Amino acid sequence: MLDALPRVSATEEGPDVAAGARRVYASVRARAGARRIDVLHVPGRIEVLGKHSDYAGGRSLTCATPQGVCLAVAARDDDDLVIDDLTLGVEIRVGPEGGDGATASDAGRIPAVVQRRVRADFGTRVRGADIAVARDLPAAAGMSSSSALGTGLFLALAAASGIAVDDLRRLANKPRDDALELLAGYLAAVEAGRPFGGGGDDAEGVGTRGGSEDHVAILLSRGGRLGLYRYDPLVRLDSVVMPVGWTFAVAVSGVHASKATSEREAYNRLSRLTEEAAALWRRRSGRDDPHLGAAIAAAGARAVRAALVEGAGAGDPPRELVDRFDAFERESEVLVPRAAAALAEGDLAAFGREVARSQRLAESRLGNQVRETSFLAASAVGLGAAAASAFGAGFGGAVWALVRENALDDFHDEWRRSYRGAFPRRAAEASFLACPPAPPARRIGVHG
């Protein structure tokens, strides 16, 4: 499976990734002896636009982050998964059935979920592995830390067990599909606990009813570019070059956007509303469109909305289904393509206007913003950013701002100062990152 990833040497990486790669390599080497060791880096992602769009067949504009997860892996002779988490300072042991890794924290829960799902899909051939993990990607920040970790763990298990791309193609019954696109779809199914292709039953997942946006950005991004995609089925619509001299600054608010308990349920509610709206459309139209994106493509937004309004008037669904449709249609079908076109043309003023509309839509219709993220987006623009928006699942998390590279440090200082003045307690847990669009997941050659 790792053969599908690009390969680079540690010397070609920036200092943070190179140091992480050498650190995890040394940890596994101390346990593995002469066994083969593979090293990889899995990035996080920034959702530039496309809030809550992918799972309903919509569009989004994304890129990978320089920050991510470094992993090293060597196969074991038994069936145990033994993880040395160098960032958390803990060792996690997961047996063939989940073992003591099935805890409430992501440290143990995600490895246990991945282990069980891979065994269910690929059988007893799955071997145990010694894995070391080091990460500089903030957790619960809306930057896909859970997806990055889950992706890395799957790739590590695949490497240890010899699971190849053709095995995944057989599972999906899609012998000619692109390897990385297929892998992104599989990992999204694992995260959501959905079956994939013809293999596997429903299984425990991270718990969010999401799509494949995170995994597409993690596996298919290109350095210096933003990817414009439509989902389910996945279609690459464009690759937009980042404007010369500009970069993303990211503020992690300190309000955890955790995929557990109440935040997870709030996220899933937004997803369920799109499913219910699509189901109502199918009942009233007699069509079999699987999601709102397909319904709009087939019949047009006006016809779909009219059917939902009629259903709402007849008391079939609550009015909120119409509101959820409006938010999805505006974000996916209008704002994302307009913003991508403006950025491609270098019209940063127009780009900023579309981004501002998306942020207002998130605050007024999605209802997934908190005071801290709304403040960070508004203050970034007030401090001179060309555009700024919260991103990810919402209910906390992070905000990106498009700023000039040569002003990044000063911008961070002013952004941090303004946030501290408005939310002193949150500011103590906040972090501010430089996030130029980065390369995707890759194998890293480490020597010594």
Predicted pLDDT of residue 385? 98
Q: Could you give the angle at the alpha carbon of 74 between the alpha carbons of 70 and 80, nearest 5°?
A: 105
Predicted pLDDT of residue 258? 62
pLDDT at 389 over 80: yes
Residue 447: pLDDT band by 50, 70, 90 thresholds?
low
Predicted pLDDT of residue 319? 80
Residue 98: pLDDT band by 50, 70, 90 thresholds?
low
> In angstroms, rounded to a whole number, what is the distance separating the alpha carbons of residues 321 and 201?
30
Residue with token string 């940063």: 348
Residue with token string 């298990």: 157
Q: What are the C-alpha distances in Å from 310 to residues 229, 284, 293?
A: 31, 9, 19
Residue 313: pLDDT band by 50, 70, 90 thresholds?
low
Map out the domains of the chain with their CATH numbers: 2-234+438-445 (3.30.230.10)
Q: Which of 13-27, 99-113, 119-133, 231-245 has the lowest mean pLDDT?
A: 99-113
Residues 335, 49: contact at Cβ < 8 Å? yes
pLDDT in tens, 341-365: 999 999 999 999 999 999 999 999 9
Predicted pLDDT of residue 181? 96
The structure's pTM equals 0.94
Predicted pLDDT of residue 209? 67
pLDDT at 105 over 60: no
Residues 216, 227: contact at Cβ < 8 Å? yes
pLDDT at 109 over 70: yes
Strand ranges, E, within 338-410: 387-391, 398-404
Predicted pLDDT of residue 101? 43
Residue 106: pLDDT band by 50, 70, 90 thresholds?
low
Dihedral sign of CA atoms 177, 227, 148, 394 in order: negative
Averaging pLDDT over each range in 73-82, 89-98, 252-261, which range is the top one? 73-82
Predicted pLDDT of residue 87? 95
Predicted pLDDT of residue 104? 41
pLDDT at 190 over 50: yes
Please give the average per-residue pLDDT across 288-307, as a whole number. 97
Residue 262: pLDDT band by 50, 70, 90 thresholds?
low
pLDDT at 415 over 70: yes
* Residue 378 structure tokens: 């508004």
SS3 212: coil
**pLDDT: which is higher, 229 or 195:** 229
Please give the average per-residue pLDDT across 69-96, as a whole number. 94
What number of other Cβ atoms are within 10 A of residue 153's Cβ?
27
Residue 210: pLDDT band by 50, 70, 90 thresholds?
confident
